[in-house]
Amino acid sequence: MSGNGGWFRNFLNRAGSGFRRFMTGRYGTDQLNTAILIVGVAICIVAMFIPSAIVKLILTTVSYSLMFWAVFRTMSRNTYKRYQENRKFRMLIDRIKDRDHRYYDCPRCRQPVRVPKGKGKIAITCPKCREKFIKKT
């Protein structure tokens, strides 16, 4: 009962397993990749409405570079590094969303320290290395 559609389903199965084999050990996609692609496509759309040829060329180049970067990250076998990039990106987004706090990196050990906003000048003590530093919040 396979009929005429049989070869096509067979083809899809083969293509699917081929793709799965190709992607084995590769990183795949994540939030950072999605963001890169959205920005890349947005720049590409903006470039279409720019009359200046030079600006259009620059924007198109940036847009293609971003999309290439996203593809490169998806195909990457260095999954640990890609995972770390995505983790940093998500931390950055969390910081931007958090309007009640400011974030400082400890000058000694680079540990990020979160402090409440709008308190004026305060002395911050690093929770990791006990280094004290003064910042305006």
Residues at the site binding Zn ion, with contacts judged by CB under 5 A:
106, 108-109, 111, 126, 128-129, 131
**What letters, b where the CB count within 10 A reaches 16 and e where it falls short, cover 75-95?**
ebeeeeebeebbeebeeeeee
Judged by beta carbon, residue 32 or residue 126, the one nearer Zn ion is 126
| Least distance in angstroms from the C-beta of 133 to Zn ion | 9
Judged by beta carbon, residue 87 or residue 108, the one nearer Zn ion is 108
| Least distance in angstroms from the C-beta of 91 to Zn ion | 17
| Least distance in angstroms from the C-beta of 130 to Zn ion | 7
Judged by beta carbon, residue 54 or residue 134, the one nearer Zn ion is 134
Judged by beta carbon, residue 75 or residue 129, the one nearer Zn ion is 129
| Least distance in angstroms from the C-beta of 78 to Zn ion | 29
**What letters, b where the CB count within 10 A reaches 16 and e where it falls short, cover 2-28?**
eeeeeeeeeeeeeeeeeeeeeeeeebe
CA distances from 84 to 27, 79, 91, 131 (A): 12, 9, 11, 26
